[in-house]
Amino acid sequence: MPNNGRPRVAPRRTIPRASFDELEQALRIDEHELRRCCVQHAELMYQIGRQLAEYESRRDATKQELAETEARASKQIRHAAEVADVKITVGEVQAEVALTAEVIDLSAQLLQLGEAIGQRKALRDAYIHRKDMLKELVSLYLTDYYSDPVRGGEAQVRNIRDAATEGLQRAYRERNARGRNSNQEE
């Protein structure tokens, strides 16, 4: 089949959809598998965001259903009171609405969804922190921090810091020397 001059794109490999517990376990960063952690991070963040959006959508739908159920129950209670020729206060209507089985079930679902959303937001925040830690670990890896088993790369970091300090001192001396030369010429 001709490709019409377009480069061939490899199919996207995806990580199978993970459960909440699997996403929690994947938070751990293994320094020896840093590449794998970095490669998988975006897909894991996507899955967390997708789960969070899914639960927020469920919560919103449950809120809407709860409001509609409360309105129907209120209408039924008011109608029953009108037929029985009983005067009922707004507070009494609200209390009876809150005690209907459907409203109790939907309220419980809403609480459970709120808890699930809170857990997923906490997991998302943990993955954001994981992203920052991956950046730091990659920087340490690139500077060969882990290559010196005795000192943990401290000597190399000290050498880099000393070279930077020496460069700054040399630039300062040169600038002062130029400043003195320009003052002498005047």
Domain ranges of the chain: 20-142, 149-186
Q: Could you tell me which residues come within 8 angstroms of residue 107 by beta carbon, excluding any fewer than 6 positions away?
A: 66, 98
Reply yes or no on whether the pLDDT at 1 is more than 50. no
In the prediction, which pLDDT does 27 show?
83
23 contacts 48 by C-beta, under 8 angstroms: yes
Q: Could you tell me which residues come within 8 angstroms of residue 102 by beta carbon, excluding any fewer than 6 positions away?
A: 69, 73
Cα separation, 96 vs 77, whole angstroms: 8
**Average of pLDDT values for 53-76?**
96
pTM (predicted TM-score): 0.64
The model's pLDDT over 143-177, given as tens digits with 9 standing for 90+, comes to 876 665 555 555 566 666 677 777 777 777 877 77
